[in-house]
Chains A and B, each alone.
Chain A
Amino acid sequence: MIEQTAKAYATRKEFYRQFGRKSRGAQMRRRFLKNKTAVIGMILFLLIVITAICAPLIADYKGVAIKQIRSERLQPPSARHWLGVDEMGRDVLARIVHGARISLVVGILAIGVSLLIGGTLGALAGFYSGWVDNVIMRAMDVFLCLPDVLLALAIVASFGTSQVNLIISIGLAFTPKMSRVVRAAVMSVRSNEYVEAARSIGARNGRIILRHVLINCIGPIIVQVTLYVANAILTVSALSFIGLGIQAPTPEWGNMLASGRDYARDAVHIVMAPGLAIFFTILSLNLLGDGLRDTLDPRLKQ
């Protein structure tokens, strides 16, 4: 009898279809799509990503983005230069579009690095607790005494300011926070009954962490990762703004702001464009993160 039932509902989808219920994924999707802010955030972010990917199609890097035409310096937006021309005679739109690539790549990869290191440490600390937890978290506490911008600053200062170094520095700077998030998520799941159940049927620790714990705490982690990517992008441009990040002539929103600020009085478009670019990128990720949180944890939705 039971076997027959099991066979009849061999796939979960089939089970849900039979009982007229939507699968968990479908429910989540519906809830996410119902959340207006989340959808707006996602669309905005996807647009930015697509722009970054298509940057070379929009404007040639060598031919436009870093090409200086002295005669056109500080020109306001026009049909030829949609966002105007900067203080060195470079097309602002081209630089914004190419800058998106750098911001996104550095921001996302940096959080990837922190997820790899901080996530592993946090999962270990959360799962094993006891002295492992103590050692890891006390170490992280030390780093948490330094704000992430400052930590990134210090690391960048010693590594140098190449793009790879920036990724590593910012990644390391976000590691302590990330480890805390993962640890908290793991700990909240670890004590649940199904983990006990898995243990009781003799599953090994590695399997439990992967199959049961991480799967179930992925929600809060995704939410935080989204918000941290926003923070990381902000950090990249902040570092570039103070001259310790991406260096000119490579276009980056932060260094565009830094080099354009002295001309802002006469040509506002120079600081408007990169500022708004950063703002909308961060906003899109914040909207997306908030929306994901509401979707994954409907309890918190107000």
Chain B
Amino acid sequence: MGGSSYPPLRAIYKSTERVDGMYKYILGRLIVLVPVILALTFVVFTIMYFTPGDPTAVILGNEYSEEASSHLKAQLGLDKPFFVQYVNYVAGLCQGNFGMSYITRAPVGQQLSARFPNTFKIVIAAMVFTVVLGIPIGVYSATKPNSVFSNITMVVGLLGVSLPIFWLGLMLILLFSVNLGWLPSSGMDHGFKSIIMPAVAVGANYMANVMRTTRSSMLEAVQQDYIRTARAKGVSRGAVIRRHALPNALMPTITVVGMNMGALLGGVVLTETVFSIPGTGRMLVETIKSRDTPSVLGCLVIMALCVAISNLIVDLIYAYIDPRIKAQYKKEVAQ
């Protein structure tokens, strides 16, 4: 069978529209992100607005007087009604203006751009550490479900998800900084060395989680009927795992990796506190304590944005891997 009577390959590939519609989808998702961020700023803004206490008292400190307070309120627009304040804030946000810190009197945006890179580095390092270790270990342990190695990974995984980040951080410092003197105990001044411990502390839970998920979804995938179909075709055990089981099993893993981005950012608050790292997490804690509303808002908006974007990325990877989901997207876009 020469196949000459069948359409040429190029035509077939074209008809699949592998990428087409994807851009539209991404654009659609980004547009949906806008109301989400708006709603979120509204919630956070509301929470902070109704926080008891007079912000001007925080700003003025010892120089506080009735007159100075009302003057400052007018200057900061705090005398305006709630909605006007909110609209003003959002209007500023749209121009990249996060407002002025009550405490330092510097623009919040400046502070954020100085601190966020540190947080970002730790998050990325933790993610890489998680994916590079968690997924292979999970897969390997699933291919030999009754082996000693597999049992050990299960136990370690269970211990791993139960470790409190801040305690693990303290223990790491005691071991690697105080006793062994290998790694710096705080700050970000030592480049890559500074990132290792905070990333491991914040990523340990996460890695254990990813490993467990990978293992169980892999175990489930190898029991599917299509694995049997592939084996019946004559595909070898290893190739079946690589080509058929793994791509299907990775879906839940990707969900865990992406959806736990939030947990990772929550953990960053702790790891930055433990390791005294000047990042957004510690900035958030400090500014909450000092009631510096614009800074708090700024931190939360940035972090929420990170979560939303990582969710979007997960969805895109999903759509790339799973044609069923892509088909759904196309339908959504068409509507």
Residues of A at the B interface (CB closer than 8 Å) are 37, 139, 141-150, 153-155, 157-158, 160, 230, 234, 237-238, 241-244, 254, 257, 261, 264-265, 268, 271, 274-275, 278-279, 282-283, 286-287, 290, 300, 302
Chain A residues within an 8 Å CB radius of B36: 141-142, 145
Quote the shortest CB–CB distance from A228 to chain B (angstroms).
Answer: 13
Residues of B at the A interface (CB closer than 8 Å) are 36-37, 39-40, 43-44, 47-48, 50-52, 145, 158-159, 161-167, 170-171, 173-174, 178, 216, 219-220, 262-267, 269-270, 273-274, 284-285, 288-289, 291, 296, 300, 303-304, 307-308, 311
Chain B residues within an 8 Å CB radius of A275: 164, 167, 170-171
Inter-subunit contact B170/A147 (CB<8 Å): no
Chain A residues within an 8 Å CB radius of B216: 300, 302
Residue on A with the closest CB to B265?
A: A147
Inter-subunit contact A154/B166 (CB<8 Å): no
Quote the shortest CB–CB distance from B142 to chain A (angstroms).
Answer: 9
Quote the shortest CB–CB distance from A260 to chain B (angstroms).
Answer: 9
Given A153-B288, A158-B51: A146 and B170 interface contact (C-beta under 8 Å): no
Chain B residues within an 8 Å CB radius of A153: 269, 284-285, 288
Given A145-B36, A145-B262, A242-B285: A302 and B178 interface contact (C-beta under 8 Å): no
Chain B residues within an 8 Å CB radius of A290: 158
Quote the shortest CB–CB distance from B1 to chain A (angstroms).
Answer: 44
Inter-subunit contact A158/B265 (CB<8 Å): no
Cβ contacts A to B, 18 pairs, < 8 Å = A144-B307, A145-B262, A146-B304, A147-B266, A148-B266, A149-B269, A149-B270, A150-B262, A154-B48, A157-B291, A158-B47, A238-B270, A242-B270, A242-B273, A264-B170, A265-B178, A279-B163, A282-B163
Chain A residues within an 8 Å CB radius of B162: 230, 279, 282-283, 286
Inter-subunit contact B265/A150 (CB<8 Å): yes
Inter-subunit contact B300/A154 (CB<8 Å): yes
Inter-subunit contact B44/A154 (CB<8 Å): yes
Given A150-B300, A158-B50, A264-B170: A243 and B266 interface contact (C-beta under 8 Å): no
Quote the shortest CB–CB distance from A88 to chain B (angstroms).
Answer: 18
Residue on B with the closest CB to A243?
A: B289
Quote the shortest CB–CB distance from A276 to chain B (angstroms).
Answer: 8
Prevailing SS type, chain A contact patch: helix
Residue on B with the closest CB to A280?
A: B162
Quote the shortest CB–CB distance from A35 to chain B (angstroms).
Answer: 13
Residue on B with the closest CB to A254?
A: B166
Quote the shortest CB–CB distance from B23 to chain A (angstroms).
Answer: 23
Query: Which 10 residue pairs spanning A and B have beta carbons closest together?
Result: A149-B266, A147-B266, A275-B167, A147-B262, A158-B51, A283-B162, A282-B162, A145-B304, A142-B39, A157-B288
Chain B residues within an 8 Å CB radius of A300: 216, 220
Residue on B with the closest CB to A143?
A: B43
Inter-subunit contact A146/B262 (CB<8 Å): yes
Inter-subunit contact A147/B263 (CB<8 Å): yes
Residue on B with the closest CB to A149?
A: B266
C-alpha spacing A160/B52, complex, angstroms = 9
Inter-subunit contact B158/A286 (CB<8 Å): yes
Residue on B with the closest CB to A290?
A: B158
Task: Beyond A145-B262, A157-B296, A243-B289, list 6 extra A-B contacts (CB 8 Å).
Answer: A144-B307, A145-B37, A145-B304, A146-B262, A157-B288, A241-B270
Chain B residues within an 8 Å CB radius of A155: 47
Inter-subunit contact B284/A150 (CB<8 Å): yes
Residue on A with the closest CB to B299?
A: A150
C-alpha spacing A148/B262, complex, angstroms = 8
Inter-subunit contact A158/B48 (CB<8 Å): yes
Inter-subunit contact B303/A147 (CB<8 Å): yes
C-alpha spacing A290/B161, complex, angstroms = 12
Inter-subunit contact A278/B167 (CB<8 Å): yes
Inter-subunit contact A241/B158 (CB<8 Å): no
Inter-subunit contact B170/A261 (CB<8 Å): yes
Chain A residues within an 8 Å CB radius of B296: 154, 157
